Chain A
Amino acid sequence: MVSLQAYLIVSLILLITGLVIMISRKNIVAILLGIELILNSAALNFVAYSKYTTNNLDGHIFSLFIIVIAAAEAAVGLAIVIRFFQIKETIHIDEVSELREEIAR
């Protein structure tokens, strides 16, 4: 039968994929996609634990709110991306380094 470990493995794969995408992509939208994967892995974990270790539905509530937060995050994040694009005409992540002191690249 399907066990808790199986869900955790899938969730781990999601998490690691998201992390790799976040680190290796240089496009901000692609990085946001990676963040969505990570949030999904967390939500999946919550629901899985809710079924296998507790008898209540708090895990469902938690993942519901994770989805809510993810939507808000995507909305604001993409708005920032679009604004950034209007100013810089690019969405390359390495251009978002305004806080750094200028160092020769």
Chain B
Amino acid sequence: MFNTLQLPSGHITHCGARFVNRFLTPSLFLLVFSALLVLSAGAAHAESVVPNAVPPVGTHDGDDVPQPIEFPHNTHVDVNKINCMYCHTYARRSPVAGIPPTSKCMGCHSVIATDKPRIKKLTEYWENKEPPPWRKVHDVPDYVHFTHEKHLKRFVFDNEGMEVENVSEVCAFCHGDVKNMTVAHKVKPLNMGFCRRCHEANEGPFDCWKCHK
């Protein structure tokens, strides 16, 4: 017989080992290390504003969404220092943050800046007894049951050392720097990886059924 049951007694080529030792391992290490560096740098950067929280990491380049009225968030939040929850009033007690009712807009704008074209448009809606048809900017798939209530509790109301005035910084975790935008547009990916990393960093729950029901 030509073949016998003897197993090859040769040795593994040195070339392979060299490749692994000199190139593959260091480069993988470098890659992972730098990734960690970038992540932790991002985390450390925002630490100062909201205590006891690690903001989620990730960016997204959202489309501009045409709205019936070009609502200037910056004027309201940055210039006039209105708290986010003044208008998005349901956020602290409901899964959804809600769009302010038209009456709330009119509460101020029946006297303030009534001559501006946008306010005129708003007044028109109000007089026609129909709310403006806002378009949704931040959306998650239907099988994701995100709740604002619990997140605000964790990051604002139960967060020692957190000033309620700074709530826009907490909102910014997921909604981006809305206070410097006019019409809001999406700057965070709001996908599962984005959520997961934040939950990991802040020790949030890891039960699938928290969000997927």
The answer to whether A and B interact is: no
Report which A residues bind B (CB closer than 8 A).
Answer: none
